């Protein structure tokens, strides 16, 4: 799902997706800022706390223990 402005999903739609993802227990969550509004990124940041990681061009995301 793409989270952004315009005729995209509503805040309720996004919250349902966040709840579904949170139920899976992810250890690392990132959204593309190109495809997501600031409000949606903040919703994910608040919901996932330290498990949310900002995705920035040129900055690697290293996930300890991950296999290539």
Domain layout of the chain by residue ranges:
9-20+28-68
pLDDT score recorded for residue 36: 84
What's phi and psi for 52, nearest 5 deg?
Answer: -90, 135
**pLDDT < 70: residue spans in the chain:** 1-7, 66-68
User: What confidence score (pLDDT) does residue 47 get?
Assistant: 96
Question: 3-class DSSP state for residue 11?
Answer: helix
Determine the pLDDT at residue 6: 61
Global pTM value: 0.76
């Amino acid at each position: 799902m793409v989270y952004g402005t315009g005729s995209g999903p509503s805040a309720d739609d996004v919250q349902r997706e966040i709840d579904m993802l949170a139920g899976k227990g992810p250890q690392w969550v990132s959204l593309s800022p190109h495809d997501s509004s600031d409000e949606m990124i903040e919703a994910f940041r608040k919901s996932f706390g330290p498990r949310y990681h900002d995705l920035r061009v040129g900055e690697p995301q290293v996930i300890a223990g991950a296999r290539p």
